[in-house]
Amino acid sequence: MSLAFAKDPSGAPLALPGESPFPAHLLVDWVGVPMDLHCGDQRLVKGEIPGQRYLNGAAEGWRDHPEWMDFLDPDSPIYGLKRLEADLTLHHWRPWLGGRRVLDLGCGIGRFLVRFLDRGAHVFGVDGDLLSLQQCAWHAAGRRGCLDLFWSSAQRLPDVGLVDLVIASEVLCYLPDWQEVLTDLTKRLKPGGHLLVSMEARWGWAASEDAPEGSIEEALMGTGIVDVPGDRWVRTVEKDEFTSTLEHAGLEVLLMEPTHYLSDGPLERVMPQNASLSQVLDWEERCREHPVWCHLNRLWTGVARKNP
- Domain at 71, CATH number: 3.40.50.150
* Owning domain of residue 83: 3-305
Decide the pairing of beta strands 252-259 and 299-305.
antiparallel
What pLDDT score was predicted for residue 71? Answer: 97
- 191: three-class secondary structure by DSSP: strand
pTM: 0.95
The predicted structure's pLDDT at residue 160: 97
Q: Would you state the pLDDT for residue 57? A: 80
Q: How many other CB atoms sit within 10 Å of the CB of residue 83? A: 17
User: DSSP states of 109-136 as a string?
Assistant: TTTTHHHHHHTT-EEEEEES-HHHHHHH
pLDDT at 51: 64
The pLDDT assigned to 145 comes to 98
Whether 169 contacts 89, CB under 8 Å: yes
Task: Tell me the per-residue pLDDT of 52-70, one tens digit each, with 9 for 90 and over.
Answer: 777 888 888 999 999 999 9
Tell me what pLDDT residue 230 has. 67
| Residuewise pLDDT in 10s, the chain (308 residues) | 799 999 998 999 988 999 999 999 999 999 999 999 999 999 998 887 766 777 888 888 999 999 999 999 999 999 999 999 999 999 999 999 999 999 999 999 999 999 999 999 999 999 999 999 999 999 999 999 999 999 999 999 999 999 999 999 999 999 999 999 999 999 999 999 999 999 999 989 888 887 777 776 766 677 888 887 767 788 999 999 999 999 999 999 999 999 999 988 999 999 998 999 999 999 999 999 999 999 999 999 999 999 98
Phi, psi of 164 (to 5 degrees): -80, -35
Please report the pLDDT score of residue 219 as a whole number. Answer: 64
| Predicted pLDDT of residue 50 | 66
Q: Which residue type, as a one-letter code, is found at position 192?
A: G
Q: What is the pLDDT of residue 217?
A: 72
pLDDT at 47: 80
| Residue 216 contacts residue 205 (beta carbons within 8 Å) | no
Yes or no: say if 270 and 166 are a contact pair by the CB < 8 Å rule: no
Number of domains in the chain: 1
